[in-house]
Amino acid sequence: MIKLAIAFTLTLLFGCMTKLPAAAECTESSACDTGLSCLDVAQFSGGSCTVVGKECTIVCTGDGDCASLGSNFKCFAGCGSDMTCSETATP
């Protein structure tokens, strides 16, 4: 009976958790809304690139790929070969 109560409580707790929206900081893709992945955020300084965190977003090849996330998302280069959509400012 106690195991059932614990299982029910965990289901309620984790079943009601909301997924993270685009541009939210994350640690794993399963925390992000459907269609989003937890991807690296790059920062460039001179010729070097550093990963400064992770956010819920999508891979892109141009700004048009980011339109589904909102008008304030643009496509940016990453430290690797993938480019990702990031929020620029409030529209």
Q: How far apart are CA 57 and CA 33, in angstroms?
A: 9
In a domain, 69, yes or no: yes
| pLDDT at position 51 over 60 | yes
In a domain, 31, yes or no: yes
pLDDT at site 72 = 95
In a domain, 9, yes or no: no
Q: How far apart are CA 5 and CA 74, in angstroms?
A: 46
Could you give the number of structural domains in the chain? 1
pLDDT at site 16 = 55
| pLDDT at position 2 over 80 | no
The predicted model scores a pTM of 0.77
Mean pLDDT along residues 17-41: 95
Greater pLDDT, 34 or 17: 34
In a domain, 66, yes or no: yes
Greater pLDDT, 14 or 31: 31
The 8-class DSSP code of residue 65 comes to: G
- State which residues form the domain around 24: 19-87
